[in-house]
Structure formats: C-alpha cells, structure tokens
Amino acid sequence: MNAISPRALLIRGMLAGLLAGAAAFLVAYLIGESKVDAAIAIEEAAAHGHDHGEEAPVSRALQATAGLGTGVLLYGVALGGIAALVFAFALGRIGRFSPRATAALTTGALFVTVTLVPFFKYPANPPAVGDPDTAGRRTALYLLMIALSVLLAAGAVILGRRLAPALGHWNASVAGGGAFVAAVALAYVFLPGIDEVPSDFPATLIWQFRLVSLAIQATLWATFGLVFGALAERLLVPAAASREAVKEAVQPTN
C-alpha cells in the first residue's frame, strides 16, 4: 500500500479538506454568525459615545459570507493536505489497519492534538473579548500549545512502540496515552493562562461561542476523516488488489 505516491494522497487530502471546509462553513454561518453579531453588538454598545467616524473597510455582510467562506475553505485545504501527508506516513506503521481505519485514527489523533488540547488551555473568545495589545502574545501561546501537543503526541507514540515488546500492544498503548495526558497536564500548569474576559460580558454568550467554535472544528475534522477515508480506500485497495493479481499471475504453476 505504501507504494502509492504521496502526491496522489496529497491531492485527495486537499480535495477532502475543501469539502470539509464547505461543511464547516455551513455550521459557522448557520449557528456561529449570530453569536459573533451578538458580541459585536455588545462591543458597540460599550463604545457608545466614542468617535465612530471611520467605517470598517469591509462590511459585516461581506465578512460573514465571502470572507468567512474563503478563510474556512483555505483552512480546510491546508489542514487536509497536512493530514494526508501524516496519513501517508502512518499507513502500515501503526498497525495492520485498512486505509479507511487508518484515516479515521489519523484524523482523530490530529483533532485531539491540534484542536482539543489547545482549545482547553486557550479557548476561543468572541469579538470584544481580549486586549488588542496582547493579541500577538495570545497567538504565540496558542501556537506554542499546538506545537507542544503534537510533539508530546509523537513522543507518546514512540514510547508506546518501545514498551510494546515488554508490555504488549494494549498495555503499551495505555502507558503511552497516560504519559501524553500527564505531559499535557504539566504544560497546562506551567504555561501562562489568559483571562481577559470583561466582568460585565455575558458568560452565556462566551460559552455558546466556544461551543460553536468547537462544533465547527469537529465538523471539519469529521467530514475530512469520512471523505478522505473513502478516497484513500478507493485509491489504495484496488492498487493493492491489482498487485496481488499480478503476483499470482507470474507465479509458476505446479
């Protein structure tokens, strides 16, 4: 199976990412934009009486449609390409799983490391929450959390594979997973926290916005895993079957 060119998987990963981005855009537009509008209304109400002579260079309607769609689609294509390359590396190295199962496992692992782990430390905030002067620092910490999560996950996989001969695959996997959780917990403790939510900002709106943000990411990754798994299966399984047929054809008969 690994004889398939990574380029073929990359193209299918980007296509699956495009479709996943479209699904995520629908979720963001249908249930997410209302939360953004509510947060913007609170921000404008708090700034009432200040100078509003300058208009936004891009209208809110354009931001919520073309701007949002373009951003989410590009994000999906980029993540799809990266996930496809991770899949190409993992195929056949994490066990004797089918391409579809490998895609599901790879996508799930990426969702946990790239989305869930950073989200629980630095969750998304709606507009009007956060000091603009600390935006660079907050972004850097978020990216650092993603990098740490990916490195810790890779370390947990390596640990599990080295423990497998002595403990067995199941116990080694549990040990690797436990080490990952413990290391992430330490990272949560030592990395600085960020709490810039105004005291008068509605807690319900923040909670809803964060749930929607998580739903968008879950939709993106779930759609990608399903679509890419199907595309990878169609690419790899016929290729493997044809190679087996060729081997049988050239084998001498008794």
Per-position pLDDT tens, the chain of length 254: 445 677 888 999 999 999 999 999 999 998 888 888 887 777 777 666 555 545 556 666 777 677 788 889 999 999 999 999 999 888 877 777 888 898 999 999 999 999 999 999 998 887 767 677 777 888 899 999 999 999 999 999 888 888 888 888 788 889 989 999 999 999 999 999 887 777 777 888 889 899 999 999 999 999 999 999 999 888 887 655 545 544 554 455 54
The answer to whether the CB of 6 falls within 8 A of the CB of 85 is yes
Query: Is 149 a member of any domain?
Result: no
The answer to whether the CB of 28 falls within 8 A of the CB of 220 is no
Query: Is 165 a member of any domain?
Result: no
DSSP for 23-59 reads HHHHHIIIIIHHHHHHHHHHHHHHTTTS---SPPSS-
Query: Is 108 a member of any domain?
Result: yes
Query: Is 69 a member of any domain?
Result: yes
Query: Is 58 a member of any domain?
Result: no
Nearest Cα neighbor of 108 from 171, 153, 163, 78 is 153
Q: pTM of the full predicted structure? A: 0.82
How many structural domains comprise the chain?
1
The DSSP code for 171 is H
Q: To 10 degrees, what angle do helices 203-250 and 33-46 make?
A: 150
User: What is the C-alpha to C-alpha distance for residues 39 and 47, in angstroms, rounded to an integer?
Assistant: 12
> Residue 120: CB partners within 8 Å, gap ≥ 6?
188
User: What is the C-alpha to C-alpha distance for residues 63 and 72, in angstroms, rounded to an integer?
Assistant: 12
Query: Is 54 a member of any domain?
Result: no
What are phi and psi for residue 180, nearest 5 degrees? -65, -45
Query: Is 49 a member of any domain?
Result: no
User: What is the C-alpha to C-alpha distance for residues 170 and 160, in angstroms, rounded to an integer?
Assistant: 9
Q: How far is CA 181 from CA 115, 124, 161, 203, in A?
A: 15, 22, 17, 28
| Residue 69 lies in domain | 6-41+63-129+203-247
Query: Is 92 a member of any domain?
Result: yes
